[in-house]
Amino acid sequence: MKRREFLGSVAGGAVAGSAGLVRTAETAAAETPAGGSLMTTPAVHMAPRADGLELVWGVSRLACGWVEWKAEDGSNGKAHEDAFGFVPQGDRIVRVRIEGLKTGVNYQIRAVSESGDGAKAREESPWRPFRVLDAKAATTKFAVWNDTHQNEETIKKLHAATPQGDFLLWNGDICNNWDKEDWLAPTLLNPAGQDVSTGRPMFVVWGNHDVRGKWAFKMPELVATPNGRPFYAFRSGPVAFICLHTGEDKPDNHPSFGGRVAFELLRQEQAEWLKKVVELPEFRDAPFRVVFCHIPLRWKNEEIADYAIGGYDHYSRLSREAWHNTLVAWKAQIVISGHTHQTAWIPGTTEFPYGQLVGGGPKPQAATFIEGVADVSGLKFVMKDLEGKVIQDVSFKPIA
Q: Give the model confidence (pLDDT) of 322-343 as tens digits.
A: 999 999 999 999 999 999 999 9
Q: Report the C-alpha gap between 179 and 22 in whole angstroms.
A: 12
Per-residue pLDDT, averaged over 175-184, amounts to 96
Quick one: 197 exposed, middle or buried, by C-beta within 10 A (0-12, 13-18, 19+)? buried
In a 3-state reduction of DSSP, which class is residue 112?
Answer: strand
H helix or E strand, kind and range, residue 94: strand 93-98
Q: How far apart are the first and last CA of the chain?
A: 44
Among 345, 399, 347, smallest CA distance to 370 is for 345
Q: Which strands form 390-396's sheet, in the order they lie side by side?
A: 93-98, 53-58, 44-46, 202-205, 167-171, 140-145, 368-375, 378-385, 390-396
Per-residue pLDDT, averaged over 46-75, amounts to 97
| Residue 1 banded pLDDT, cuts 50, 70, 90 | very low
Q: Report the C-alpha gap between 358 and 16 in whole angstroms.
A: 31
- What percentage of the chain carries pLDDT values higher than 70? 91
Domains with residue ranges and CATH for the chain:
44-130 (2.60.40.10), 133-396 (3.60.21.10)
For residue 330, CA distances in Å to 9, 26, 174, 290 come to 41, 47, 29, 10
Question: Does the pLDDT value for residue 247 go beyond 80?
Answer: yes
- What percentage of the chain carries pLDDT values higher than 90? 88
For residue 247, CA distances in Å to 80, 214, 357 come to 34, 16, 19
The residues near 309 (Cβ < 8 Å, ≥ 6 apart) are none
Q: Report the C-alpha gap between 188 and 235 in whole angstroms.
A: 24
Q: For residue 149, count other CB atoms closer than 10 A to its CB.
A: 27
Per-residue pLDDT, averaged over 229-256, amounts to 96
Question: Are the C-beta atoms of 177 and 211 separated by less than 8 Å?
Answer: no
Question: Does the pLDDT value for residue 241 go beyond 70?
Answer: yes
Tell me, what's the pLDDT at 400?
84
Tell me, what's the pLDDT at 381?
98
Q: Report the C-alpha gap between 277 and 357 in whole angstroms.
A: 23
Give me the chain's average pLDDT, please: 91
Per-residue pLDDT, averaged over 221-227, amounts to 97
| Residue 144 banded pLDDT, cuts 50, 70, 90 | very high
Give the model confidence (pLDDT) of 3-37 as tens digits: 444 443 333 333 333 333 454 545 444 444 334 79
Question: Does the pLDDT value for residue 202 go beyond 90?
Answer: yes
Q: Hey, which residues does 115 pair with through a beta bridge? A: 63
Q: Report the C-alpha gap between 364 and 375 in whole angstroms.
A: 31
H helix or E strand, kind and range, residue 65: strand 63-71
Q: Which pTM does this prediction carry?
A: 0.91
| Residue 117 banded pLDDT, cuts 50, 70, 90 | confident
Q: Report the C-alpha gap between 285 and 301 in whole angstroms.
A: 34
DSSP for 295-361 reads S-S--S--PPP-GGGT---SS-HHHHHHHHHHHHHHT--EEEE-SSSS-EEE---SS--SEEEE---
Largest CA distance in the chain: 66
